[in-house]
Structure 1
C-alpha cells in the first residue's frame, strides 16, 4: 500500500524531540509496556511515548499494532485535553488507515486533525492534513476533490514559506 506524500514521521519526531522523550528501538513482536501514569504531565508524556512507539510500528509495517498504540495515545491526549497532541494522534491514525487501504476512515481522521490544527494554530499539522486529504481523494479516484485540497495545501505552503512542501505538493498535482 502506498503511503501519503507527507508521512507523519517527521511531525511525530518533532513532537517527541521537543518533549525530551528519547526514542528507543523496538524489537519486532515485543509488546508495548504499560507505564504507570498519575499526573497530567505523566499522561502527556505517555501519549507522546505511545505516539513514538506507534510511529516505529508503522515504519516497520506493523499497521494493526500501530493503530492500537495510537488509539491508546489518543485516549491519554483526550483525557488531559491536549488538543495539539490529540490532533497529531488523529493524523497518525489517519495515516495508518491509508496504509490499510481504509480511505473513508483515513478521511475521517484527517478531517478531524485538520479542524484541530486550524483551531490550535498548528501550521505543520494543518498543511500535512490538507495534503493527505488530497492524497486520499486521489486514491479514491475523486480527482476534482483531490485537486481542491491539494490546491489549498499548495496555497498554504506558499503562504507560510514552506518551499519543500510547496515543491512536493506541486509534484502531487502534476
Structure 2
C-alpha cells in the first residue's frame, strides 16, 4: 500500500511533536504521540539511574520517563531528526527510520552535539492521527558496529584531534 502525501506529512508532524514534547517537557503533547499501549525503547544509553537498555510502555510509564528526563535537562536539549525514511507496512501502518542528533543549545563551548543515534519506529493511524505503536532509539555506534574500529582517514583524523585536545577549543 502506498502512503499519501497527507499521511507522510502526518508522520512528519508526529516526529516534530515528539521532539518538541520531549525537549520542553510538554506531557500532553508527548503522550499524544503514542497509542494507548505505545512503547518507547532506548538502547545503548539508559536513563537517569539506569545503565543499558530501558523500555517504557503505556501513558504512566511514558509520563514518568518524560518527567525524569525533563527534570535533568530543563530545556537544554534539542532533538533534530533528519533524514526520515517512511515505508508503508500495511493499511494505516508504517515503519519510520531516521537519524537523530541531540544538541545542547547555546553558545560555544557549552553548545554542541551530545548524542547521535537512530530511531526505528512502528507507527499507526488511529482516529485519523498517526501515533507511535513503538519508538526505538538506538544510540550510536549502532549495535552491529559497536566493536569495530574505523579505519577511514577522516574518522581517524577526527579521533586524533579529539584525543589531542584540538577539538575542545574554538
Q: TM-score normalised to the size of structure 1?
A: 0.28
The structure in which a higher percent of residues are strand is 2
Instruction: Please identify the structure whose Cα radius of gyration is greater.
Output: 2
Q: TM-score normalised to the size of structure 2?
A: 0.28
